[in-house]
A and B are shown apart, each in its own frame.
Chain A
Amino acid sequence: MRTSVKKLATAVSTSIALMAAGQAAAEIQIGIAGPMTGPVAQYGDMQFSGARMAIEQINANGGVMGEELVAVEYDDVCDPKQAVTVANSLVNDGVRFVVGHLCSSSTQPASDIYEDEGILMVTPASTSPEITERGYELVFRTIGLDSMQGPVAGNYIASQNPERVAIVHDKQQYGEGIATAVRDTLKDQGVEVAMFEGITAGDKDFSSLVTKLKQADVDYVYYGGYHPELGLILRQARQADLDAKFMGPEGVGNKDINTIAGEAAEGLLVTLPPAFDKKAQNQELVKAFQDKGEDPSGPFVLTSYTAVQLIADGIEQAESTDPFEVAEALRSGTFQTPIGTVEYDQAGDMKSFEFVVYEWHSDGSKTPVN
């Protein structure tokens, strides 16, 4: 009995050693960290689908410097606490490149750990300006900032000559940040902001808020936050006959809002990154997604694809897998990607990124406004 236990132990330890050795040879691990579960898992799906596709295609074309990319996936549930746990386990797993995180409130705490541990991070979705404001060397994004998205929304609302505008947000980093940017733009344009108020994310009852909006007699409502709350606000507003136009950031623009709000989602305005999947140069890539039965039209699919591609391109240009050298290569180079030509400034933000206003429909489709 004793010998058999010993044998087993030896066998197990040998196989663990072999596995570790196998991983060390000719592989570059790419961590993908985002919400696989939880209320905003819909966005996580976009992120994972885009990043997996990029890894698959790069490997099919011979990998990076002859080495294969391997995806290591982590679920942060879009929860800041969980994001920190994920970041730590990434460090333990020896991953040195990350595509993620998705929610700004997760990206921020995780990026502290990545910067300390020398891990390069490219977020395909976090738009909070604070993330790149801290002078970090290893933080990049393939998406614009709230400070770009807010003015687009604010200027659009101002161009419609509204009488009174209300701004509601979910008190989270992303929602409140963008709502503040919209308010500032509206003030500059001389539009009266009748109400600026926070709600609690996860709340279900918005009847008091809707009554208040009705009382304030607003004709535009801007909501900074995600779809679970806005979906309910839209629905409860419709039941209470509130006659106002709603607008939100890309955090509300996905099909889940239709299952919650139903008919009430018709006519919602959303600022989104331009539809990259409609670009002529991306049609081959779009077809590759469709062949796999996946939908490339989500706002973060191709930004995630680009994030992986940039890491790969950066490694090749730097001819090194050292994150600091790759970061240097990303800052100095110009890259052709599915989301257009990418150039980085010192902070890790793209030099140009455009947001477009879309009108959302109750069947989940969207049409560009003007």
Chain B
Amino acid sequence: MQDLLYFSQQLINGLTIGSTYALIAIGYTMVYGIIGMINFAHGEIYMIGAYTALIAITGLASLGVAWLPVILIVALICAMLVSSSMGWAVERVAYRPVRGRHRLIPLISAIGMSIFLQNYVHLAQGSRNIGFPALIEGGVQFGASEGFQMSLSYMQITIFITTLICMTALSLFIARSKTGRACRAVSQDLGMANLLGIDTNRIISATFVIGAALAAVAGLLLGMYYGSVDPLFGFIAGLKAFTAAVLGGIGSIPGAMLGGLILGVAESMTSGYLSGEYKDVISFSLLILILLFKPTGLLGKPEVEKI
């Protein structure tokens, strides 16, 4: 019983972190699916989302707003707006002018953008860790009062529910809406979609905006869950999310979700049963193994060479 509780606790820890990896991974995978480039500045967009949310929360607190739902919703909207416009601007400034060139050029441009944004926040906000106020506290306990107690915090529940809502909304959007259909068309064949009258530039911008908005949601959630932000916050998270996207099959949205969850659970199980020191070793070995045996990732489709 004890062991089962311990296992479930580590599973919950892993799923929590995994679902936020998934939210960030969507941004990588959508952009890759449509224009075949890796947007390395995406981790920074997520970091900026977290900072914006923190600024909004602090601002509201100083205005005397104390009702939690209002604070959260306003912070969420601010973070999504700022991150989305940032995502849009990054595409406009750094990627569109080099689109269609050799693959390496947009990649270098993305890395440059990432360094620029990181240092910009360094200058604007300082390089120190800034504490995030604990807004959602408490939780529910399972298990006997003596011995190991499993706890599920309200914050974790919030993360699950928000992720679930975002993922459902995104899936519906891609499957049902006109823009969603255009997105799928562009990802299948950009040139053909253009010929059929789809404004591909608009669709590509929309992809960046959606990815950035989801990253902002993750930024707010993880900022609150962990309790601090710093300008390098986006780098590691971005790397992990990118791994999740590749693991699940880059270009595939359900793949990103699955990849994120698997990665999160693998990490927490490693630190739970082996040692925290091996966390990254295991998750990246997992990535290598999957790429060796299934180069397209878990749910990725093999790329058909178009002639």
The chain A residues found within 8 Å of chain B, CB to CB, are 37-39, 41-42, 171, 197-200, 202-205, 207-209, 211-212, 214-215, 217, 228, 231-232, 235-236, 239-241, 256, 258-262
Contact = CB atoms under 8 A, between A and B. Distances in A.
> Which of B137, B148, B267 lies at the interface centre, i.e. has the most chain A CB atoms within 10 A of its CB?
B148
B230 interface: yes
B124 to A, nearest CB: 13
30 contacts: A37-B127, A38-B127, A39-B129, A39-B232, A197-B276, A199-B277, A202-B232, A204-B233, A205-B226, A207-B17, A208-B267, A208-B271, A211-B6, A211-B10, A214-B149, A228-B230, A231-B129, A231-B131, A232-B226, A232-B227, A239-B153, A240-B151, A241-B149, A259-B131, A260-B227, A260-B228, A262-B131, A262-B133, A262-B134, A262-B227
B50 to A, nearest CB: 10
B104 to A, nearest CB: 25
> Which of A39, A200, A205, A259 lies at the interface centre, i.e. has the most chain B CB atoms within 10 A of its CB?
A205
A186 to B, nearest CB: 19
Given A37-B122, A204-B222, A239 B129 contact: no
Interface string B130-149: 11011001010100000011
A37 B124 CA distance: 13
Nearest to B222: A204
A215 to B, nearest CB: 5
Contacts of A171: 277
Contacts of B153: 239-240
A281 to B, nearest CB: 33
B226 A228 contact: no
B276 A39 contact: no
B272 interface: yes
A215 B276 contact: no
A42 B151 CA distance: 35
A215 B4 CA distance: 12
A207 to B, nearest CB: 4
A171 B280 CA distance: 14
A257 to B, nearest CB: 9
Given A37-B122, A204-B228, A228-B228, 19 more contacts: A39-B128, A41-B127, A198-B275, A202-B232, A209-B271, A214-B148, A215-B6, A217-B148, A231-B129, A235-B134, A236-B226, A239-B139, A239-B153, A259-B129, A259-B130, A260-B131, A260-B227, A260-B228, A262-B227
B277 A232 contact: no
B307 interface: no
Interface string B148-166: 1101010100000000000
Contacts of A215: 6, 148
Contacts of A199: 276-277
Given A171-B277, A228-B230, A202 B236 contact: yes
Contacts of A39: 127-129, 230, 232
Given A214-B148, A239-B137, A208 B272 contact: yes
B134 A211 contact: no
Contacts of A262: 131, 133-134, 227
Contacts of B6: 211, 215
Contacts of A228: 129, 228, 230
A208 B127 contact: no
B131 A200 contact: no
B114 interface: no
B98 to A, nearest CB: 30
B207 interface: no
A197 B17 contact: no
Given A208-B271, A262-B134, A41 B149 contact: no
Contacts of B233: 204
Contact of B276 (A37, A208, A240, A261): A208
Given A208-B10, A241-B149, A256 B17 contact: no
B272 A212 contact: yes
B9 interface: yes
Contacts of B13: 205, 207-208, 211
